[in-house]
């Protein structure tokens, strides 16, 4: 062969390939999860980790699943193990529609529900269908890291908003400077990581702003039904179903390991998402969808969810009690009505990345708050999960963390 570069007869074989020049701009724009990298050091068994967003395995309905799995294999094994349709198994979509009716009195047509490989895929598909390189997405400061990663992976530019009330002004400025946002991304219930829940008025305001500037809203609701106290607030989807794409998941209310989530969206959006999902993974496993559908239909889902909420409520109270007992001066924390996380703030001059190294030596782990701030702020904040650890580890872990914070204070005294 004649080399097309040097025009010589001899072909120099390029044994060790350098792929860097071949990477797409998407790949270069992707950000590796800081959680993942920081936590790779936190897997030693002696470390108490408040870092992940793991549900408590106590809440996994193992016995129910054993029975249901046998039934699915016995009664519909061939369909369960075959390719499924891209929009998802009909019986599961029907159960999700019933769930909305039961829990929120909301009528969601089955045709507007698409099953996804958990809500991370929904975030990915929504990003793929709407984000062009450079497009602005308005989100919270802080906001869910997985959503930020999805936006970045399509070269989107998340614009972080510290307060909901600034939304109109921010959209006005962005539009005036030619950076009209593509959509608003919001986790209105027990936000990850802040734990905040938008009031009814805040939701109405956000919908009005979206209408004013003709923007889409992406409403992410993974924690909505993990509520301990207070009343459920109507979704933004219920206020303008033509404008809101609502994401749901069974990861926190059932099991995360099946990777089952869904999107509710207007006809024209669902149609685009189905085409996007075709090339993303063809379909979500039919087997786990059929198992979930039967589990929901049995009524056990609702019962188990009540127990899950009671367990997490108790664990949240326990962690806060431990904070009150052990934390040094200046540490502030949230006390949310639901969800899986507490959000902590140190006095502004401290950096939780520095704290992280001390904490790991003390055998306790968390997620640095900076990871959730698309503008690099929030260096004095951190997220702690209370759903996964045992009661003993919650208390012991808080003691260790309080000790680490004292060391950080002393270092800078």
Scan residues 247-276 and list those touching a copy of itself (CB under 8 A).
251, 255-259, 266, 268-269, 272, 275-276
| Minimum CB distance to a copy of itself, residue 166 (Å) | 14
Query: Which residue lies nearer to a copy of itself by CB, 20 or 349?
Result: 20
123 binds a copy of itself per the rule CB under 8 A: yes
Footprint of a copy of itself on 207-246 (CB under 8 A)? 208-209, 211-214, 216, 242-243
Please name which of 34, 33, 47 lies closest in space to residue 388, comparing C-alpha atoms: 47
Burial 172-188 (b: 16+ CB within 10 A, else e): eebbeeeeebbbbbbbb
User: Rounded CA gap, 240 and 205, in Å?
Assistant: 12
7 binds a copy of itself per the rule CB under 8 A: no
Among 104, 168, 302, 396, binds a copy of itself (CB under 8 A): 168
66 binds a copy of itself per the rule CB under 8 A: yes
Stretch that binds a copy of itself, among 121-129, 192-200, 305-313, 374-382 (CB under 8 A): 121-129
Query: Which residue lies nearer to a copy of itself by CB, 108 or 276?
Result: 276
330 binds a copy of itself per the rule CB under 8 A: no
24 binds a copy of itself per the rule CB under 8 A: yes
Query: Which residue lies nearer to a copy of itself by CB, 19 or 413?
Result: 19
110 binds a copy of itself per the rule CB under 8 A: no
**Dihedral sign of CA atoms 311, 313, 245, 233 in order:** positive
Footprint of a copy of itself on 176-205 (CB under 8 A)? 176, 182-183
Among 42, 48, 51, 84, binds a copy of itself (CB under 8 A): 84
152 binds a copy of itself per the rule CB under 8 A: yes
Among 112, 221, 225, 284, binds a copy of itself (CB under 8 A): 284
Stretch that binds a copy of itself, among 72-80, 350-358, 369-377, 405-413 (CB under 8 A): 72-80
Query: Which residue lies nearer to a copy of itself by CB, 117 or 192?
Result: 117
Stretch that binds a copy of itself, among 142-150, 320-328, 355-363, 398-406 (CB under 8 A): 142-150
154 binds a copy of itself per the rule CB under 8 A: yes
Among 90, 141, 175, 297, binds a copy of itself (CB under 8 A): 175
User: Rounded CA gap, 349 and 328, in Å?
Assistant: 15
101 binds a copy of itself per the rule CB under 8 A: no
381: β partners = 345
| Minimum CB distance to a copy of itself, residue 184 (Å) | 12
Among 51, 95, 114, 130, binds a copy of itself (CB under 8 A): 130
Footprint of a copy of itself on 25-64 (CB under 8 A)? 25-27, 30-33, 36, 52-55, 57, 60, 62
């Amino acid at each position: 062969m004649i080399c097309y570069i040097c025009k010589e007869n001899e072909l120099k074989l390029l044994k060790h390939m350098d792929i860097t020049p071949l990477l797409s701009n998407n790949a270069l724009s992707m950000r590796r999860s800081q959680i993942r990298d920081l936590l790779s050091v936190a897997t030693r068994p002696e470390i108490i980790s408040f870092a992940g967003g793991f549900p408590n395995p106590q809440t996994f309905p193992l016995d129910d699943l054993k029975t249901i799995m046998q039934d699915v294999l016995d009664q519909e094994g061939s369909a369960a193990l075959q390719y499924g349709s891209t929009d998802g198994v009909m019986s599961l979509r029907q159960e999700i529609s019933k769930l909305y009716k039961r829990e929120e009195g909301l009528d969601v047509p089955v045709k507007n529900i698409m099953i996804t490989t958990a809500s991370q895929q929904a975030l990915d598909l929504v990003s793929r269908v709407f984000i062009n390189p450079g497009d602005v997405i308005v989100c919270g400061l802080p906001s869910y890291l997985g959503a930020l990663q999805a936006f970045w992976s399509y070269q989107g530019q998340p614009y972080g908003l510290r307060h909901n009330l600034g939304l109109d002004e921010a959209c006005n400025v962005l539009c005036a400077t030619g950076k009209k946002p593509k959509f608003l991304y919001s986790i209105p219930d027990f936000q990850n990581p802040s734990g905040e829940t938008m009031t009814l008025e805040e939701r109405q305001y956000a919908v009005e702003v979206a209408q004013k500037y003709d923007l889409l809203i992406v409403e992410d609701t993974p924690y909505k039904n993990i509520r301990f106290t207070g009343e459920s607030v109507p979704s933004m989807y219920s206020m303008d179903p033509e404008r809101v794409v609502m994401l749901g998941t069974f990861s926190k209310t059932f099991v995360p390991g099946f990777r089952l989530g869904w999107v509710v969206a207007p006809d024209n959006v669902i149609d685009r998402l189905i085409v996007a999902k075709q090339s993303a993974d063809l379909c979500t496993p039919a087997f786990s969808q059929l198992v979930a559908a039967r589990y929901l239909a049995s009524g056990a889902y609702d019962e188990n969810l009540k127990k899950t909420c009671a367990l997490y409520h108790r664990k949240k109270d326990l962690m806060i009690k431990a904070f009150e007992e052990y934390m040094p001066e200046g540490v502030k924390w949230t006390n949310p009505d639901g969800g899986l996380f507490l959000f902590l703030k140190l006095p502004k001059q401290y950096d939780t990345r520095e704290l992280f190294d001390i904490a790991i030596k003390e055998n306790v782990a968390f997620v640095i708050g900076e990871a959730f701030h698309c503008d690099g702020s929030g260096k004095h904040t951190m997220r702690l999960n209370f759903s996964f650890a045992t009661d003993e580890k919650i208390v012991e872990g808080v003691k260790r963390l309080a000790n680490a914070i004292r060391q950080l204070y002393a270092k800078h005294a």
